[in-house]
Structure 1
Amino acid sequence: MKNVIALPTLYKRDTKGKVRVLTIEYGFDNEDTAGTRSIAGIQDGKLVTSGWNITEPKNVGKVNATTCVTQAFAEAQASWDKKVEKEYFADINLIDTYEKFKPMLAGDYTKRPQAQGWSQPKLDGIRCIANQSGLWTRAGKEITSCPHIWESVKPFLDANPGVTLDGELYNHELKEDFNKITSLVRKLKSTPEDIAESASLVQYHVYDCNVENMLFIDRIKLAYKAKSDVVKIVKTDFASDQEQLDELYASYTEDGYEGQMVRNNALYQQNKRSNDLLKRKEFITEEFKVVTMLEGQGNWAGHVKHFALLLPSGETCGAGVRGKQEVLKDLWEKGATPDWATLRYFGLTPDGVPRFPVVIDYGFGERSD
């Protein structure tokens, strides 16, 4: 490529203690030829330069069409963002701050149904681990966009060394606008305005904490000591039989929650999918490739209203996109089509098409949270 632009170099400490460097570049010869590549290796060692991944224009002939160059920049930035959301840092001095705590993951209730247990509503937020080092994503990347949450939980964590809170950044009043929460939480460089908006909207909903040799019911009682205006403890009820579990499940879905979590009174298990924590939801959530964005009509003219998604059969289906108008207007005007979309739907039609599909999240590159 005649013209090459490099994004800021990234660094991480590998498992052998060495510093790895990564530079992501995009380049172009003209509007018809562009692509991305990476340069990676050990610091002060031999670096390997990949071949060019040629980019293609999207939405050709439409108002939101993108050129090869525009798409190359979008894909390079998405790859860079993905690395930063995980273990890479633009500042080499921060590489040893990566927190490696991994939370307990839920099993599938349909595969191991049980007729009693501790029941909680299933939230649709961003997983957040809080310990004495800060706030962290499920992938182990520090969350810096919610200082109001950190200020609230820090006194509890200081008073309880070794305890790790486990929950989600969420606001039930924004249950129909998941992208609003994610757009605030995922910001790597928040402006003062972003911080103020985060403080007014983002809450920390805690549903467990990691305490060595402590059973769940005692852990959730301990977590109540962290409760504040912005730190909520997820309501927890004991169901003694299937009827009570079903009644609680019905009440959660009626209230707009994603489903139900069923827990045994057992120990916290780090970094594994546990049968003592089961998720239950009737609808299906899957990710699909986005083929194109579709403009709305009337009041939604100039906004993204639907995505065309690629199905495993090779056919496409349309799905409405959940989100606020200003966010979807910005997405349409920028013109870069997301790579993936998380689709929520209620089973398939006889033709294999999702029933009542709604896009609840989307992004560029591979999802990392």
Structure 2
Amino acid sequence: MRISIWRTIFATLLFIGLTPTLLWSQTNAIKIEQYQALKLQHAGATTPQLPISEYLVSEKLDGVRGFWSGKIMYTRSGREISLPDWFIDKFPNQALDGELWIARGKFDDISALVRQADPDEERWRQVKFMVFDLPESQQPFELRYQYAVSHFSHLSPFLVVIPQQQYDSRQEVEQRLTTVVDAGGEGLMLHRRSAMYHQGRNSDLVKLKQYQDAEAVVIGHYPGKGKYQGMLGALEVKNPAGIIFRLGTGFSDEQRKNPPQIGSSVTYKYYGLTKAGVPRFASFVRVRLAL
């Protein structure tokens, strides 16, 4: 009896132009309040494994990951973000995965805003929620993107669907990567066009940079010399593989005066590994905040 009822409902939806998938997405937003943390999709590869034409390509933004449940914005760890009411006034009642972003090189600014209990309304006017996926859709990425563009592009000046482009050769992508990095960007994201949305690390989602980055825990401080006398010279850090090494570059003078605390997590960039597994030419990028 129940099956018959559902068949009737689905047939009616199809007749009026709605798919059961989209109805489910719109009326059953993820009940994030029940979760300790989000299970979002993350890049699981740093090089594409398929022909470039199998991917859609967008810029990797240096913002704060945001999950819109249809009612509330959360960080990747599941913490609610306080936003001005006008910022989300026109946002859809549908789950969106994206990035709260100001501009290239403004990560520190957006991370500070996100951590505020009382939002600074004037500063939030420079922020946009850059949408890159629909976690609850049962469609492949290419159709998810097309749906986002057609349904969300004109809702709000504070909601932007990140443009995706298709390329025919690796050379074209490398040229785009160089252009983005030269302009102060971080890199590119490659989404396999036919891929479904999967929680956790996913090799169908590629993070392409001119360098690699990773996280490590600070286990020691080394004093500076010369012009850095009395300040930090280098951090001693330990990565998840148990490799201990030093980060001596990438710090501002203010960071050298007030270095990351022992026990804190930091992001560093590097260019491959030595035979012993030590990151080559590793340099400090930022403190890894528990957002």
Same fold per superposition (TM over 0.5) = yes
CA contact (8 A) 1:120 1:236 kept: yes
The alpha-carbon deviation at position 300 of structure 1 amounts to 6.8
Question: Cα–Cα, structure 1 residues 243 and 310, in superposed 2: closer, same or farther, change >3 Å?
Answer: closer
Q: Name which of 103, 120, 123 aligns with 2:58.
A: 120
The alpha-carbon deviation at position 129 of structure 1 amounts to 0.8
Aligned-residue RMSD, C-alpha:
3.6
The alpha-carbon deviation at position 344 of structure 1 amounts to 0.9
Question: Cα–Cα, structure 1 residues 219 and 302, in superposed 2: closer, same or farther, change >3 Å?
Answer: farther
Matches within 5 A, 1:173-322: 173-175=104-106, 178-187=107-116, 189-190=117-118, 195-196=120-121, 198-199=123-124, 202-210=127-135, 212-214=137-139, 215-221=143-149, 222-228=151-157, 230-266=158-194, 268-293=196-221, 306-310=234-238, 316-322=245-251
* Contiguous gaps of at least 5 residues in structure 1: 1-95
1:152 aligns with 2:83: no
CA contact (8 A) 1:153 1:226 kept: no
Moved more, 114-123 or 261-270: 261-270
* Contiguous gaps of at least 5 residues in structure 2: 1-31
Aligned residue type for 2:133: D
The alpha-carbon deviation at position 345 of structure 1 amounts to 1.3
Counterpart Cα distance in 2 of 1:185 and 1:342: 19
**Equivalences, count:** 253
The alpha-carbon deviation at position 134 of structure 1 amounts to 0.6
Question: Cα–Cα, structure 1 residues 98 and 301, in superposed 2: closer, same or farther, change >3 Å?
Answer: farther
TM-score (norm 1): 0.56
Question: Cα–Cα, structure 1 residues 182 and 241, in superposed 2: closer, same or farther, change >3 Å?
Answer: same
CA contact (8 A) 1:107 1:278 kept: yes
1:106 aligns with 2:31: no
* Aligned partner of residue 285 in structure 1, secondary structure: strand
Question: Cα–Cα, structure 1 residues 118 and 294, in superposed 2: closer, same or farther, change >3 Å?
Answer: same
Judging by fraction of residues, say which structure has more strand: 1
* Aligned partner of residue 87 in structure 2, secondary structure: helix
Counterpart Cα distance in 2 of 1:123 and 1:207: 11
Aligned residue type for 1:121: E
Counterpart Cα distance in 1 of 2:210 and 2:183: 15
The alpha-carbon deviation at position 360 of structure 1 amounts to 1.9
The alpha-carbon deviation at position 349 of structure 1 amounts to 5.3
More RCO (CA 8 Å, sep 6+) = 2
Matches within 5 A, 1:128-139: 128-139=66-77
Q: Name which of 29, 33, 55 aligns with 1:97.
A: 33
Question: Cα–Cα, structure 1 residues 107 and 227, in superposed 2: closer, same or farther, change >3 Å?
Answer: farther
Residue 143 of structure 1 aligns with which residue? 81
- Give identity over the alignment, percent: 22
* Aligned partner of residue 252 in structure 1, secondary structure: helix
Residue 14 of structure 2 aligns with which residue? none
Aligned residue type for 1:97: E
Counterpart Cα distance in 1 of 2:59 and 2:145: 16
Question: Cα–Cα, structure 1 residues 244 and 349, in superposed 2: closer, same or farther, change >3 Å?
Answer: same
CA contact (8 A) 1:128 1:168 kept: yes
* Aligned partner of residue 354 in structure 1, secondary structure: coil
Question: Cα–Cα, structure 1 residues 242 and 267, in superposed 2: closer, same or farther, change >3 Å?
Answer: closer
TM-score (norm 2): 0.69
Question: Cα–Cα, structure 1 residues 125 and 269, in superposed 2: closer, same or farther, change >3 Å?
Answer: same
